[in-house]
Amino acid sequence: MPVLVVGSIALDHIKTPTAEHSQLLGGSASYAAVAASFFGPVRLVGVVGDDFPPQHRQLFADRKIDLEGLEVAAGQTFCWSGEYELNMNNRRTLSVALNVFEKFSPKLPESYRNTPYVLLGNIAPSLQRMVCDQIRNPKFVIADTMDLWIGMARADLLDLIKKVDMLILNDSEAKQLVEDENLIKAGRKIASLGPRYVAVKKGEHGCLLFGRDGEFFSTGAYPLEQIHDPTGAGDSFAGGVIGHLARTDDISFANLKEAIIQGTLVASFCCEEFSLRRLEKLRAEEIAERRQAFGGYIA
């Protein structure tokens, strides 16, 4: 089954304690679409400027990602700059230039509107809602979000999550959304707000999955000795989750557990190099090998 991915596409400048790189491919849609492409066909909706490097577009093409929904606007591509501390969990944004993304209004090609599996990447809830209004009878819709939208667009976000099957956010964002410092209580409260499932990312400590009817699952993260760049790991996780669901065409809770693990594994590869460089050369066989080594729950 095909996957529809909608989100931001960016050019990143990233600095860590050991290295610094510019003009890197970034954005929620970029990571999520490439991650999902290891599981099946992907349709991408986003916007870039006329300065978008050809090699980044080629990466999408090499992964056989359908680019009919990729808009090229006059101007510069969305740019983000960030710096990580020695503890890679700590990051600060140095600059943001929305550029052509500032006026982005997602428009789905007619051929995309019946896509059964949909991932609404981490963009404003109002834009995610615009996509929901254009898709027809989706089988499973995932929305990713972040602290910025919880603070700036809470009403829009609360409205959106009533219309999706799964919400993905991290542990601090889950606590922020429902104002509860107990993560288990927070996860269950969010599930009661509308989404059928809630996935709470905990970085190097894995992920928690909550169901509206009381279902619960917990998995650890794949252990890594070295992390070069965690940018996009959460987006890659979301792409792996929706990709697995689409490949199996099974939205049972048992299969959702396996989807969470598959997303966790793809995210682990993302952290091993800057930008999408590790995913660019990743093979599906490597994901399968890491899955076997990971052990744990098997659907």
* Per-residue confidence (pLDDT) for residue 296, from 0 to 100: 63
> What angle, rounded to 10 degrees, do the helices at 284-294 and 253-270 form?
110
Q: Which residues contact 42 (CB under 8 A, 6 or more apart)?
A: 2, 3, 4, 5, 33, 36, 63, 64, 65, 66, 243
pLDDT tens digit string along 154-203? 999 999 999 999 999 999 999 999 999 999 999 999 999 999 999 999 98
Phi-psi region of 275 (alpha: psi -120 to 50; beta: other; left: phi over 0): left
* Per-residue confidence (pLDDT) for residue 150, from 0 to 100: 95
Closest C-alpha to 166, from 146, 143, 150: 143
Secondary structure of residue 107 in the 3-state scheme: coil
Q: Which residues contact 32 (CB under 8 A, 6 or more apart)?
A: 5, 7, 119, 121, 144, 235, 236, 238, 239, 242
What counts of helices (H) and strands (E) characterise the chain?
11, 13
pLDDT band at 71 (very low <50, low <70, confident <90, very high): very high
Strand partners, 214: none
Which sequence spans correspond to the domains of the chain?
A: 3-161+226-286
pLDDT tens digit string along 11-54? 999 999 889 999 999 999 999 999 999 999 999 999 999 999 99
Q: Largest alpha-carbon pair distance within the chain? A: 49
Q: Fold for domain 3-161+226-286?
A: UDP-N-acetylmuramoyl-L-alanine:D-glutamate ligase (3.40.1190)
Model confidence, pTM: 0.95
User: At residue 223, does pLDDT exceed 70?
Assistant: yes
> 24-56: b or e for each residue (b if 16 or more CB lie within 10 Å)?
bbbbbbbbbbbbbbbbbbbbbbbbbbeebeeeb
CB 56 within 8 A of CB 25: yes
DSSP assignment letter at 22 = E
Q: What is the CA radius of gyration of the chain?
A: 18
* Per-residue confidence (pLDDT) for residue 90, from 0 to 100: 81
Residue type, 22: S
